[in-house]
Amino acid sequence: MTVTAESLSPVSIAGRPADFSQQLMHDFRMYGFGVVTDHGIPAATINAADAAARRLFALPDAVKRQWHLPGTGGARGYTPFGVEAAKDAAEVDQKEFWHVGRELPPGHRYAADMPLNVWPEVPGFREAALGMFTAFETAGARLLEAIAIGLNLPDAFFSGPTRDGNSVLRFLHYPPQPTAPNGIRSAAHEDINVITLLLGAEEAGLELLNRDGSWMPVNPPEGALVVNIGDMLQRLTNHVLPSTTHRVANPVGPAASRARYSMPFFLHFAPDYQIETLPGCVTAANPDRYPEGITANAYLLQRLREIRLL
């Protein structure tokens, strides 16, 4: 298997979205991924969330399993080792995780599609997780503005479709696997959502599948955000922005004896948003691949079945 030496150059998003849009869009079009610095998420927010996640995963298995809700698609609370498998994968992934969703006011019209959060008995967890959720949303809105500009759409194009969206914050823990260097922590997959914002990926292992079939390490600098395009945005853009296959490989060397803790934020559309190909993404060379629209919620349920979460 080939691994290329290329890697993504970090893009600063300190300025106005119109200023960083072009550079970011280049990487999104080419790789489906971008590495972002100056993302504005406070270090204190990240550290509090990271510490809360570590306290949670350090609890005994039997304690964590009381917050596992089988049959709910793992949408909230705890998912133990051995449940999630990538689409069509034979093996389950070597990971446990916890999902936090949006807190909706009682009686909200999306309540049926967005279950209530479950909270573990870990002091400060709820505050830390919700602080992280909000910070990811703010950064995500800036990124989506840059994407809208890059697609020649109005700057605020995504703000309506993602308002009260079904986004999920995932805390992930992969235990050390010192005897399985080059093994797989998370099998090759694509993300289902609009865009994913990932923190905590500095530890080696995250790789994306290049167009030439080689695996390319993502290697973000300390504190940088990894951003990737999900299936919903790929579908909306008629594959102009690709949802790139990625995986987490078990690192070799000393890192194989370390655990990995990462935090992806899966930014979603509102459940009733109708995903219909953007006319500006259809050309003679790239005809409309999805003449039928689908709601974000119907699409999500279809994909969750494929990854065995439903």
Torsion of CA 80, 34, 133, 123, to 10 degrees: 50
What DSSP designation does 9 have?
P
From residue 117, alpha-carbon distances to 61, 69, 77, 127, 167 in Å are 20, 11, 7, 13, 12
191 binds ligand AKG, rule: CB under 6 A: yes
Between residues 67 and 97, which has the closer beta carbon with respect to Fe ion?
97
Question: Smallest distance from the beta carbon of 57 to ligand AKG, in angstroms?
Answer: 13
195, interface contact from ligand AKG, Fe ion, none, CB < 5-8 Å by kind: none
Residue 37's DSSP bridge partners are 12
Say which amino acid occupies 17. P
Name the residue whose CB lies closest to ligand AKG: 262
186 binds ligand AKG, rule: CB under 6 A: yes
CA–centroid distance for 226 within its chain:
9
93 binds Fe ion, rule: CB under 5 A: no
d(Cα 146, Cα 36) in Å, to the nearest integer? 12
Q: Convert residues 168-207 into a mask of x (bound to Fe ion by CB under 5 A) and - (unbound).
A: -----------------------x----------------
Between residues 20 and 97, which has the closer beta carbon with respect to ligand AKG?
97
264 binds ligand AKG, rule: CB under 6 A: yes
CB 80 within 8 A of CB 92: no
Between residues 20 and 33, which has the closer beta carbon with respect to Fe ion?
33
With CB under 6 A as the contact rule, the residue among 25, 201, 224, 307 that binds ligand AKG is 201
198 binds ligand AKG, rule: CB under 6 A: yes
Buried b (16+ CB within 10 A) or exposed e, 48-85: bbbebbeebbebeeeebeebbbeeebbbbbbbbeebbb
**Chain residues that interact with ligand AKG, rule: CB under 6 A:** 170, 172, 186, 191, 198, 201, 206, 246, 248, 262, 264
**Chain residues that interact with Fe ion, rule: CB under 5 A:** 191
